[in-house]
Structure 1
Amino acid sequence: MLPSRRGRPARVPAALALLLATAAATGALAGCGDTGGLRAAGATPAARNPARLWPGLTPASSPAYDIGEVEHAVVEGVAVPGGDIRRADPVAAVRAEIAAHPGDYAGAKAPYHETSVRMADCGADGAGDEASGCPVLRPYYRDLTGDGRPEMTLGFRLLPEKLTAVRVYTVEKDRLVRIMSYEDAVSAVELAGRTVIVRSPSEVAGYEYRLQWTWDADQGAMLLTSDEMLRTDDGGQHTKRPSVPPSPAPSAASSPPGSSPSSSASAR
């Protein structure tokens, strides 16, 4: 005997049920004068492939200039107790760089001789204090390589020139290693995720340069991955509006008594 269908609703095939529901909805909307159908937005421009110029030109096989794009150098003489980069002395790292490049810092004719002289104003505890004349800026700590340990982003003034040196250090086998090096007339420095962004003024009013470095595991260094010239949208004055969504601020070294640590990644 077939099972009784009494007491339970008849099963309507799914396709038929959908058709009935659609018809009912269409009838309900008919009185509104708009069925809600799709409307054309106009013709879409056809995509075009890039046009290659001078196809007979022999491709270059090497760069015209060696600008030192890969920076990976052990900093000699600077201890990293316990492999913790927060315990490394940032002022000692700058002093080591000055000692390694006497042509840039030693003697009255060196381009950055004033930086060398003013290093005497830096605290003995390794904490840079720009207000006292020390050219070393406060270090910031954030994981930029993805290994779960922080790197140190450090800046110092190149005097008497109005330039700022930006450096990034990591730790390898309890040794301090410099993995990024750049200097320029800097208007701002930012950390966005695992990227270092440096903004510099342009000679063109209303524009600025925006350079971006990102960690490359194959090279073991921060590589320059973006170099742009962008509008500032503020009449030639540097805009403080970030170009990327805000991310958690990197931790900074302890602030002097009476001051509050900055929550921004800017070096200014």
Structure 2
Amino acid sequence: MTRRRPGPTALTALAVSAVALPLLAGCGDAGGLEGAGATPTAVGPRDLWPTLTPASAPADDYGAGETEVVKGVDVPGGDLRKVDPVAVVRAQADADPETYKDLADGLARCGTSGRDGTSGRGRTGERGCPVLRAYYSDLTGNGREDMVVGVRAPKGQLLVRVYMYADGKLIQIMDDEDAVISVQLADRSVVVRAVADLSGYEYRTSWSYDSHQRAMLPTRDEIVRTGPPTSPVPETPSGDATRPGTPSASPS
């Protein structure tokens, strides 16, 4: 077993060494102790506006922690690999047509079968089925594989959904919609990279399962610099030969 702190004997030895060092220094020993200077004082966080009344409700509905039981879809043996992801999204659309009205035409092109969402006309993309292939990983830590589904939405958005099977039910435990750059599985987290409204940056949100909420929560949400910002090119009116940045002549 490794000692992490010196015991009484070690402390005594250190004290003896400290006394002997000045004596040895007179004999030409260059290995004496040297001061590192003053230690900076630790500064703790400062409370601003201490009399401010704390808010009691969130300003926006982020949708975190919301779950939904998907009805009408069988999960043979509790194995989500045997479930058609298209059937799952369709079951949710049938239960809430208003929410899924923008996806109705796309879901109609998915055909009547095909576990990976590529049946019927078969292609994902603008003219194909919007439901992408599913991925499987144990994100909840219960020993069962959960299902991650992506659904292309209008205006370049992507819906990222996670489903788990528990207590004999198929449950959606994550629902994120964004202008997605990429999606990654990292251990038991789903990392979503999305376009930021600042040039040269992107949003990265890490969703992890919370056993108390029984849902995936955005446990880490950050904006990350990815490159130099791009400057917009000034527009030159048609017929004007003046280059950008060159002052135009004043009217006489």
Does the 8 Å CA contact 1:180/1:222 hold for their aligned counterparts? yes
Q: Which amino acid aligns with 2:175?
A: S
For 2:39 and 2:146, locate their aligned partners in 1 and report how far apart those are by CA, in whole Å. 47
Q: Write out aligned runs for 1:108-187 (5 A).
A: 112=102, 115-123=103-111, 124-129=113-118, 131=123, 133-159=128-154, 161-187=155-181
Q: Which amino acid aligns with 2:157?
A: L
Shift of 1:78: 1.0
SS at match of 1:77: coil
Pick one of 49, 52, 58 that aligns with 1:57: 52
Give the TM-score of the pair, scaled to structure 1.
0.67
For 2:33 and 2:108, locate their aligned partners in 1 and report how far apart those are by CA, in whole Å. 73
Q: Write out aligned runs for 1:1-268 (5 A).
A: 44-106=39-101, 112=102, 115-123=103-111, 124-129=113-118, 131=123, 133-159=128-154, 161-232=155-226, 234-235=227-228
Higher relative contact order (CA 8 A, sep 6+): 1
Deviations 1:39-90 (Å, cap 9, x if unpaired)?
7666554321111011111122232333332122110111101111111111
Does the 8 Å CA contact 1:82/1:174 hold for their aligned counterparts? no
Does the 8 Å CA contact 1:187/1:200 hold for their aligned counterparts? yes
Deviations 1:191-237 (Å, cap 9, x if unpaired)?
111111111111211111111111111111111111111111x3469
Name the CA shift for 1:176/1:39 in 2 (closer, same or farther; >3 Å): farther
In the comparison of the two structures, how many residue pairs are matched?
Answer: 204
| 4+ residue segments displaced more than 4 Å | 37-44
Q: Which amino acid aligns with 2:221?
A: D
Name the CA shift for 1:190/1:41 in 2 (closer, same or farther; >3 Å): farther
For 1:220 and 1:199, locate their aligned partners in 2 and report how far apart those are by CA, in whole Å. 23
Deviations 1:6-63 (Å, cap 9, x if unpaired)?
xxxxxxxxx99xx9xxxxxxxxxxxxx975x777666554321111011111122232
SS at match of 2:162: strand
Give the TM-score of the pair, scaled to structure 2.
0.71
SS at match of 1:79: coil
Q: Which amino acid aligns with 1:127?
A: D
Q: Which amino acid aligns with 2:62?
A: I
Does the 8 Å CA contact 1:81/1:174 hold for their aligned counterparts? no
Q: Which amino acid aligns with 1:131?
A: R
Name the CA shift for 1:67/1:203 in 2 (closer, same or farther; >3 Å): closer
SS at match of 1:227: strand
